[in-house]
Amino acid sequence: MTSAVTTTTFGERLRAATDSFGPLCAGIDPHRSLVESWGLTYDVDGLTRFTETCVEAFAGHVGVVKPQSAFFEVFGSRGVAVLERAVLALCESGTLVVLDGKRGDIGSTMAAYAEAYLADDAVAPADALTVSPYLGFEALRPALDLAAGTGRGVFVLGLTSNPEGRSVQHARLRDVSVAETMVRGAEAENAQARSQGRLGSVGLVVGATVGSAVQELGLDLAACNGPLLAPGVGAQGGTSEDLRRVFGDALPNVLPSSSRDVLSAGPGVEPLREQAVRTSANLAEILR
């Protein structure tokens, strides 16, 4: 079991981490093709070596790391144990962990998800968790409240780049899009932090490759005052121009996420670390 994170908020710790190490959120995505490209077997042993290499490369050298839970869960309890060890090791090094689990449910089930990943006495609590709000933003209340109480954060799916997302996220009810509802919800949660001149701890997931969708839907991402996790940078095609076009005035709050582009430098620890540090430095120039 772990003790409480700190008395500071996730938003404050995130700002400090990106100021020190740059804005990169390095993904740990041990899917089959990547594991095998490192010359490892796609089993628990290969998963363990892959993950431990990433932890050694990133811990204390990258501000934020985002393990994708599904790629560990596929191996059952042994895979989840690998993930838990990685989260604990990264947190002990001072590197922040955003667990990409995209959990979302209602009532006691959502509360259980929150307790599993955000409670002080969880087995391996992360600094933040990605959550899915498509049972309604307020259905996230157990996670929002527990994260606030333990100094952790959540990243709410807001505007994703997959083609299927448009049918839900762009839909409108009384002239307000579903995506705007999520932005407004995060803005309300971060209002106190804004009044105190701090970055909020309720972030949004906004794909770096959503094109002109932010402008088309009239989303004010800067007003959200929360971190903006931006997957899609690098191998998925997201460019510096995309970041500027999508995020505009909210660029200082963007946390670009890159997995394959960084992980392709493995399997050596040093090349992997160098790629992550170089990528973060390049992103820092873009986001200035």
Does residue 2 register a pLDDT over 50?
A: no
Tell me how many domains the chain contains: 1
> Cα dist. 247→123, 241, 254 in Å?
35, 10, 8
3 found inside a domain: no
Which of 250, 256, 259, 263 has the alpha carbon at shortest distance from 280? 256
Active-site residue, selected from the candidate residues 31, 61, 85, 102 = 102
Q: Would you say residue 1 lies in a domain?
A: no
65: CATH: 3.20.20.70
Whether 102 sits among the annotated catalytic residues: the reply is yes
> For residue 41, is it within any domain?
yes
pLDDT at 1 over 70: no
pTM reported for the whole predicted model: 0.94
Across 224-232, average pLDDT: 94
| pLDDT attached to residue 9 | 97
Using CA atoms, how far apart are residues 48 and 43, in angstroms rounded to an integer? 9
Q: Is residue 57 part of a domain?
A: yes
Considering the domain boundaries, does residue 47 fall inside one?
yes
pLDDT, tens only, 74-92: 999 999 999 999 999 999 9
In a domain, 4, yes or no: no
Residue 96 lies in a domain: yes
DSSP 42: S
In a domain, 5, yes or no: no
Q: What is the pLDDT of residue 7?
A: 61
- Residues 141-176: tens digit of each pLDDT: 999 999 999 999 999 999 998 989 999 999 998 899
Closest CA to 223 of 255, 178, 182: 182
Phi, psi of 280, deg, nearest 5? -65, -40
Structural domain that includes position 107: 10-287
* pLDDT tens-digit readout, 21-72: 999 999 999 999 999 999 999 999 999 999 999 999 999 999 999 999 999 9
Q: Is the pLDDT of residue 3 over 50?
A: no
pLDDT at 136 over 90: yes
